[in-house]
């Protein structure tokens, strides 16, 4: 009997050794490879009956390797193993041609039994069309691009570096191999370097001297890098004032601003404030302008000063260009300050109605009716009219929902032709009564006799979808989500109803829940595939498991979506499946 050759691929050498030992007891000839690249090189030089591969590996992952092996060596059987088991990768592995999918950690018996079933023919490769196989994304779960397309635009070298993340894998040397790395202190050490890659003090005490010194200083309350907030440039600029000044100079720091406020060292600010107080007392010119209402600035005080924190212009320059009156009107904002008289000082202002009133003016600044009732007669009349009319608005007379203007009033001013030409959201609008009359006339017209067309067998539209789920809320939500994307959706909530609909109509896609009353296991999936082999099936379930994902893939399901899912997720899997069915 010929010895079966097996190639085990895993970037962890310990896993490769363990699998080799497990299978060696069954007299299998086991070879190891630590990467997909090494595995492909070995397969190019020697023939193997079975490939056992991990998924997450540097460079090409296990699914990429599986796809390449089935393209180049279709007779080689493949088993996938992974420590990052998911229903998604389980479905992809089976649909790409793997005989089985084994989650880690596994027992020796699981490995031996799976390999035996592969060689005895108990496990079969799932038949999948070439179009469907090409559509499966194998680079990574979060990189939805085909590797060949990425390589075409970015180059083979870049595509080879893509691993289980969106970033290319960059190999870093282990820190123990870095130059002048001290194992005792677990860091690259200058003292270790000066002493010729040795540390006498550390070897004696078996402790890093620098780490011991830092711990001692911390214990005594002395921090080597003590934090002094007073030395910072500002609250939102947490940099040492002295360090920045030594590099850029103090002038640079004087002009740094945060929210319009210039930061200066505390001591300097303290001196300036003291000097300002002295100047105020002695009536000496002070560069910081006081509020105009309390301390009107003299002509001398107006010189060489900024107008405001948020108006960084010299007042004299502004006055020269715009005039003294404009410059004097500028206050603590970008807009000139305008003083408005209080309403009580306006002519003919009525206190009762709190407004400027023509009747109040005619009666000589008095209102007899208002004084008697202490209520403005005009406002009282408006309230009474509103109560009678109920402030009703005739919506039928409006031009449109987004043009809330009275049709007759606009037509009286602009003309009927203008109103008729108004458009809203690309639609020509007309009064409701006119529209109603036109529709009635159209209905009254006799339609020409229709030609007799022989009835054709009913055929599904390209985007027809059948949702089978016994939960009404889930079923209705899926229908609403997919209908908004233009899909024609039918619903079924029982096994009998689903089979009846599939018998009467051909669907492009079926979204099938696993747990439906009266259904055992995956029998409904099997029935759908038997009655309508061309229909694609996506499994949706709240009881997701690796085993049901594998069995669903073997029975022909193209995708497997665990509940709960988002609207985007259900739309994405549906659109992918419909594109596949096109």
Q: Would you call 112 helix, strand, or coil by DSSP?
A: helix
CB atoms within 10 A of CB 422: 16
Q: Which residues of 169-205 are buried (b: 16+ CB within 10 A; e: fewer)?
A: eeeeeeeeeeeebbebbeeebebbeeeeeebeebeee
By C-alpha distance, which of 61, 102, 106 is closest to 79?
Answer: 102
Task: Give the strand pairing for 29-33 and 77-82.
Answer: unpaired
Fold of 5-161: Rossmann fold (3.40.50)
**Could you give the CA distance from residue 174 to residue 181 in angstroms, rounded to a whole number?**
11
Cβ proximity of 54 and 11 under 8 Å: yes
Please report the pLDDT score of residue 53 as a whole number: 94
Residues near 10 by beta carbon (within 8 Å), at least 6 away in sequence:
16, 19, 34, 53, 54, 57, 81
Domain ranges of the chain: 5-161, 176-219, 285-329, 404-441, 464-581
The domain over range 464-581 is classified in CATH as 3.40.50.2300: yes
Please report the pLDDT score of residue 298 as a whole number: 47
Distances (CA, A) of 91 to 29, 51, 87, 546, 570: 29, 18, 6, 9, 17
Phi and psi at residue 169, in whole multiples of 5°?
A: -80, 125
Phi and psi at residue 249, in whole multiples of 5°?
A: 95, 150
Residues near 510 by beta carbon (within 8 Å), at least 6 away in sequence:
465, 466, 467, 468, 502, 528, 535, 536, 537, 538
Please report the pLDDT score of residue 165 as a whole number: 46
| Bridge partners, residue 311, by sequence | 308
Q: Which position has the token pair 């000044």?
A: 245
Residues near 142 by beta carbon (within 8 Å), at least 6 away in sequence:
165, 166
* Per-residue pLDDT of the chain in tens (582 residues, 90 and over written 9): 578 899 999 999 999 999 999 998 888 999 999 999 999 999 999 999 999 999 988 888 999 999 999 999 999 999 999 998 899 999 999 999 999 999 998 999 999 999 999 999 899 899 888 888 888 876 654 455 666 777 787 788 777 766 544 444 445 555 555 677 787 777 778 787 888 878 877 777 878 888 888 777 777 765 445 566 667 776 667 777 777 776 666 666 666 654 434 455 666 767 777 777 776 665 544 444 444 443 444 444 444 455 555 556 777 877 887 888 777 777 655 555 555 556 556 777 787 777 778 787 788 888 877 777 888 888 777 766 666 555 455 666 676 666 777 777 777 666 666 666 666 544 555 666 777 787 787 777 655 555 544 444 444 444 489 999 999 999 999 999 999 888 899 999 998 999 989 888 889 899 999 888 888 888 889 999 888 888 899 999 988 899 999 999 999 999 999 988 899 999 999 988 888 877
**Could you give the CA distance from residue 198 to residue 200 in angstroms, rounded to a whole number?**
6
Task: Give the strand pairing for 187-188 and 181-182.
Answer: antiparallel
Provide DSSP, 223-256. -TT---GGGEEETTEEEEHHHHHHHH-HHHHHT-
Q: Would you call 375 helix, strand, or coil by DSSP?
A: coil
**Could you give the CA distance from residue 289 to residue 312 in angstroms, rounded to a whole number?**
13
By C-alpha distance, which of 502, 496, 427, 507 is closest to 463?
Answer: 507
Give the number of C-alpha atoms closer than 13 A to the C-alpha of residue 499, restricted to the C-beta side. Answer: 13
Cβ proximity of 218 and 206 under 8 Å: no
Cβ proximity of 35 and 11 under 8 Å: yes
**Could you give the CA distance from residue 177 to residue 549 in angstroms, rounded to a whole number?**
44
Rounded to 10 degrees, the C-alpha dihedral 449/453/459/465 comes to 0
**Could you give the CA distance from residue 326 to residue 86 in angstroms, rounded to a whole number?**
72
């Amino acid at each position: 009997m010929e010895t079966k050759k097996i190639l085990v691929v895993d970037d962890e050498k310990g896993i490769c050794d363990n699998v080799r030992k497990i299978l060696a007891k069954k007299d299998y000839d086991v070879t190891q490879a630590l990467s997909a690249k090494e595995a492909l090189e070995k397969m190019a030089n020697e023939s193997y009956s079975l490939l056992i591969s991990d998924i997450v590996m540097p460079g090409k992952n296990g699914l990429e390797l599986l796809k390449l092996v089935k393209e180049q060596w279709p007779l080689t059987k493949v088993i996938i193993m992974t420590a990052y088991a998911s229903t998604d990768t389980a479905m992809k592995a089976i649909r790409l041609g793997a005989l089985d999918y084994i989650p880690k950690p596994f027992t020796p018996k699981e490995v031996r039994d799976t390999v035996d079933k592969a060689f005895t023919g108990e496990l079969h490769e799932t038949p999948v069309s070439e179009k469907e196989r090409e559509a499966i994304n194998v680079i990574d779960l979060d990189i939805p691009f085909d590797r060949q397309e990425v390589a075409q635009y970015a180059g083979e070298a870049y595509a080879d570096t893509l691993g289980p993340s969106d970033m290319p894998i960059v190999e870093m040397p282990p820190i123990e191999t870095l130059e002048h790395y001290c194992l005792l202190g677990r860091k690259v050490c200058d003292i270790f370097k000066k002493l010729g890659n040795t540390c006498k003090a550390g070897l004696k005490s078996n402790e890093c001297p620098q780490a011991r010194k830092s711990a001692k200083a911390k214990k005594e309350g002395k921090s080597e890098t003590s934090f002094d907030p007073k030395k910072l440039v500002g609250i939102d600029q947490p940099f040492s004032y002295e360090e920045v000044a030594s590099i850029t100079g103090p002038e640079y720091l004087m002009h740094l601003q945060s929210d319009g406020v210039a930061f200066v060292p505390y001591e300097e600010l303290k001196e300036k404030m003291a000097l300002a107080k002295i100047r105020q007392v002695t009536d000496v010119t002070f560069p910081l302008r006081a509020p105009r209402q309390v301390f009107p600035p003299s002509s001398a005080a107006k010189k060489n000063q900024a107008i405001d924190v948020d108006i960084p212009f010299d007042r004299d320059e502004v006055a020269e260009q715009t005039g003294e009156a404009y410059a004097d009107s500028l206050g603590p904002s970008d807009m000139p300050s305008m003083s408005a008289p209080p309403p009580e000082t306006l002519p003919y202002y009525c206190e009762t109605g709190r407004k400027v009133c023509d009747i109040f003016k005619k009666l000589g600044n008095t209102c007899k009716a208002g004084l008697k009732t202490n209520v403005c007669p005009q406002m009282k009349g408006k309230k009474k009219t509103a109560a009678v009319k109920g402030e009703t608005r005739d919506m039928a007379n409006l031009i449109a929902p987004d043009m809330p203007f009275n049709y007759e009033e606009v037509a009286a001013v602009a003309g009927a032709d203008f109103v008729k030409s108004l458009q809203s959201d690309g639609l020509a609008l007309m009064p409701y009564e006119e529209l109603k009359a036109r529709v009635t006339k159209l209905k009254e017209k006799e339609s020409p006799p229709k030609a007799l067309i022989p009835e054709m067998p009913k055929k599904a539209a390209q985007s027809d979808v059948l949702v089978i789920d016994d939960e009404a809320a889930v079923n209705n939500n899926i229908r609403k989500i997919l209908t908004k994307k233009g899909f024609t959706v039918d619903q079924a909530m029982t096994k009998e109803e689903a089979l009846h609909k599939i018998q009467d109509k051909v669907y492009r896609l079926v979204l099938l829940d696993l747990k439906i009353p009266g259904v055992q296991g995956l029998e409904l999936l099997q029935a759908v595939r038997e009655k309508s082999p061309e229909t694609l099936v996506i499994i949706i379930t709240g009881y997701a498991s690796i085993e049901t994902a594998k069995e669903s893939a073997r029975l022909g399901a193209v995708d497997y979506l665990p509940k709960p899912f988002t609207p985007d997720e259900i739309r994405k899997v549906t659109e992918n499946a419909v594109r596949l069915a096109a």
